[in-house]
Structure 1
Amino acid sequence: EEDGDDKNCIVPYKDRRREAHTQAEQKRRDAIKKGYDSLQSLLPTCQQSDISGYKLSKATVLQKSIDYIQFLLQQKKKEEDERNALRKEVIALRIMQVNYEQMVKAQENQPGLIESRVCDEVKFDVVCILPLFITFNSVSVNNFSELSACIFTWLEEYCKPQKLREMVTSVLQRVYSSRT
């Protein structure tokens, strides 16, 4: 009889264990299904597929998730690059502003400068025919690093004070002679 009692105790224990395992497995499957459903609801590309009425496979949901994460990473990198480029541009513009302010102060502080009023039309004529602006076409403006490198080369080659003075004098003489 004791052997029979032992078997009765063991069988219900095995059944309980099997039932507990089955419940745990069902709980795990439900959690995975809930996870896939949540993931699918977050992805814009999966929501469009829901509208068509077809249920997406788990493999499709995973692949679309990977694709979307890669897209977001590319967007993030692009925005970071753009932000960095804008920061560099701001720094460059601030440097240029400081340089121009220093140039203005230097011009204002030069003794013996005779100020003469030049009408806007003459200024425009000077700018239009100034050969210096033709040379500026050699400056590359594709990106900031190329621009800054080319600007320095261009400045050193074409914007030396003596060259500028000669160029402006020549242009002003032509403007003056064409007006008289």
Structure 2
Amino acid sequence: MSEDGESRYPISRCSSAGSLNNVTSSANNSDDEDSDLGAGPPPSAAGGAGNNLKDKRREAHTQAEQKRRDSIKKGYDALQELVPMMPSNSESLPPCKLSKATILQKSIDYMQFLQNCKKKQEEELNELQKKAMAMTILKLNYETIVAAHHSQRPGNALRQVSDDMKFQVFRAVMDSLYQTFEPSVITGNFTEISGSVIAWLEEHCKPQILREIMCAVLQQLQQHEAGVQQQEAMEQDGLDLQHQKLGVSKTERYY
């Protein structure tokens, strides 16, 4: 070619060594890329694994949130069952599902109601304790008066009523009451029994009637005891008379 042609179309030359180096480096780069692709998952597979992991995390989070909401709902339902409906609310509102705010407000109102009841009961308990203490003091005072009265009259203190005499008094009173109880009480059913017993109590167990029955029983037992003592005295007198006729002294009778 001419110089004009060479200058118009310049041709770059490279050495053989340089061209070999370029070919070798390109070949090495292609091998590295192939090795990298072979070592790790393909781009589409890696993206799918990441999406699966995110889906699993999202599902676990959704399940945990659902469990939390279910627990809260169960707690509100249990609280609604524990807290009773107030009379005013039950009359004005129709039976329907209450909101969480309403359940909480009802719970607060009920707790305040219980606190007021507790405070009132504590006040009543304190009053009863004071009354019990006053009654105990009165009882001790009366016991002191009775003890002083018996100490002034020692003869009456030594005289005690036997259990046999108490039983006789009780039996006589019950026998007297049963004479009016038996014809007055109807035993057909519970209604008749309760009604007839109440009527009998109101009619035949008044304080005045019971007092008259007790006085009559005591008088009868006193007469009976006096008769027994008189009979024993007469028998003793008869024995003494016989001993006197036989010439036996009182001291010789016991030997």
Distance (Å, rounded) in 1 between the aligned partners of 2:140 and 2:150: 15
Paired residue type of 1:5: A
Cα offsets for 1:55-90 (capped at 9, x unmatched): 211101100001001111211221122123212221
Residue segments in structure 1 that go unaligned for 5+ positions in a row: 112-180
> For each residue in 1:120-169, what CA deviation from the matched residue of structure 2 results, as whole angstroms up to 9, or x when unmatched?
xxxxxxxxxxxxxxxxxxxxxxxxxxxxxxxxxxxxxxxxxxxxxxxxxx
TM-score by length of 2: 0.39
Q: Indicate how the Cα distance of structure 1 residues 35 and 110 shifts in structure 2: closer, same or farther if over 3 A, else same.
A: same
Q: How many residues align?
A: 111
Letter in 1 for 2:150: E
Q: By how many angstroms is 1:54 displaced?
A: 3.0
Task: Give runs of aligned pairs for residues 1-180 of structure 1, distance below 5 A.
Answer: 1-45=41-85, 48=90, 52-110=94-152
> Helix, strand or coil for the counterpart of 1:97?
helix
Query: Following the alignment from structure 1 to structure 2, what is the Cα–Cα distance between the partners of residues 84 and 10?
Result: 72
C-alpha displacement at 1:53, in angstroms?
Answer: 3.5
> Structure 1, residues 88-140: CA drift from partner, whole Å, max 9, x if none?
221221111011110222233337xxxxxxxxxxxxxxxxxxxxxxxxxxxxx
Report the residue type matching 2:102 in the other structure: T
Aligned counterparts of 2:106 and 2:95: Cα–Cα separation in 1: 17
Q: Which residue type is aligned with residue 99 of structure 2?
A: S
CA–CA distance in 2 between the matches of 1:88 and 1:3?
Answer: 89
Q: Distance between the aligned counterparts of 1:2 and 1:90, measured in 2?
A: 92
Shift of 1:4: 3.3
Larger Rg: 2
Letter matched to residue 59 of structure 2 = E
Q: Which has the higher contact order (CA 8 A, sep 6+)?
A: 1
Q: Tell me, which stretches of 5 or more residues in structure 2 are unaligned?
A: 1-40, 154-255
SS in 1 for 2:97: coil
| Aligned amino acid, residue 76 of structure 2 | Y
- Shift of residue 21, structure 1, vs aligned partner: 0.5
Identity %: 53
The residue type equivalent to 2:132 in the other structure is V
Task: After TM superposition, give the deviation of residue 18 of structure 1 in Å.
Answer: 0.5
